[in-house]
Amino acid sequence: MLNSYGYLALAIILEVMATTALKASEGFTRPGPTILVVAGYLTTFWLLTLIMQTLPVGVVYAIWAGAGIVLVTLVSMVIYKQTPDLPAIIGMMLIIAGVTIIHVFSDMSTH
């Protein structure tokens, strides 16, 4: 199971990289960022298929999506100087709380 969480962490990192490169691709007109987008998403989805062989789909998706949202926002703050407002910050805190509740308290995460 430890390998599944390692793959999940890698899938999250690659998805954040691909999503960040999506803006830089400028509508897929810049080859470098476009290659990062395609390679990042393809590898991410391949990893997700491996992860879902051992972990429940709902748990995997909650962690992947929740962490991705928060990390893309943080990366966008640094790279694109996009600062979230208070409602966005509160929303992300609720996402983190929801993922934590699912992972820590749900029986689903142990199956």
Give the pair of three-digit tokens for residue 2. Answer: 């430890």
Number of domains in the chain: 1
In degrees, to the nearest 5, what angle opens at C-alpha 22 toward C-alphas 64 and 31?
Answer: 130
* Per-residue CA distances from 29 to 18, 76, 84 (Å): 15, 20, 27
Rg of the Cα atoms in the chain: 15
* Per-residue CA distances from 25 to 22, 32, 61, 90 (Å): 5, 7, 26, 30
Q: What confidence score (pLDDT) does residue 107 get? A: 77
Q: What confidence score (pLDDT) does residue 1 get? A: 52
pLDDT, block means (10 residues), the chain with 111 residues? 85 97 96 97 96 90 91 95 95 90 76 54
Q: What confidence score (pLDDT) does residue 109 get? A: 58
User: Residue 55 is part of which domain span?
Assistant: 2-110
3-state DSSP: the chain helix, strand, coil percent, rounded to 5? 80, 0, 20
Q: What confidence score (pLDDT) does residue 110 get? A: 57
Q: What pTM does this model have?
A: 0.86
Tally Cβ neighbours within 10 Å of residue 108. 14
